[in-house]
Amino acid sequence: MTKNLLIKRELKDWLEFLIRNIPGRIGYYCRNKYYKIRLKNILNSNRFESGLRIECPRNVSIGSSSYFGLDCKIYASEFSEINIGSNVTFNSNVMINARGSGKIHIGNNVLIGPNSVLRSNNHSFDNKDIPITKQGMKEGSIFIEDDVWISSNSVILPNCRIGKGAIIAAGAVVTNNVESYAIVGGIPAKLLRNRDYKN
């Protein structure tokens, strides 16, 4: 890596640190302007609270009227893709992680509670004679349909599709597909009931 490239990277890191941490309305304004230039695609009226971190923004698309709470993290890479719809709410400290060559799609009108994690890849561990840190990753995808509520402290693991109108209970770990309008909870997440159920 050349010295000029190292200097450019260092300057970019400093610029993003400053933009990430500007408080108040000036911060919202600066982050909106910056990400309009850097993201693959972004529509209007999004609100980015301070602490937002987006890696490889050229592979991230965001619709309109979405809210990103304090300290959210969106991790894409050269070979991955993250698509976020419109009117999506990310509470504080949500992590969307598609490092490697994974893909994450989040539909419209989705609610994601604080401290939740969506991770499209997972560590390989098949060979017990090799340290897990040296076995690489298994890539996958996550697809979240419209009108889904993912409650706080939930984890969505690779190769899961969450159907329209589903609810993920707080603290759930989702390892399989979730049907539309289902309510799931637990570790691993299991069906609790359907939303059309009447007491």
What gap in Å lies between CA 192 and CA 71, rounded to an integer? 31
User: Residue 51 is encoded by which pair of tokens?
Assistant: 């602490």
What gap in Å lies between CA 172 and CA 11, rounded to an integer? 40
What gap in Å lies between CA 167 and CA 192, rounded to an integer? 10
Residue 145 burial by Cβ neighbours in a 10 Å radius (0-12, 13-18, 19+): buried
Q: Please report the sign of the dihedral spanned by the C-alpha atoms of residue 53, residue 22, residue 114, residue 87.
A: negative
- State yes or no: is 123 an active-site residue: yes
Active-site residue, selected from the candidate residues 123, 190, 193, 195: 123
Please list the active-site residues: 123
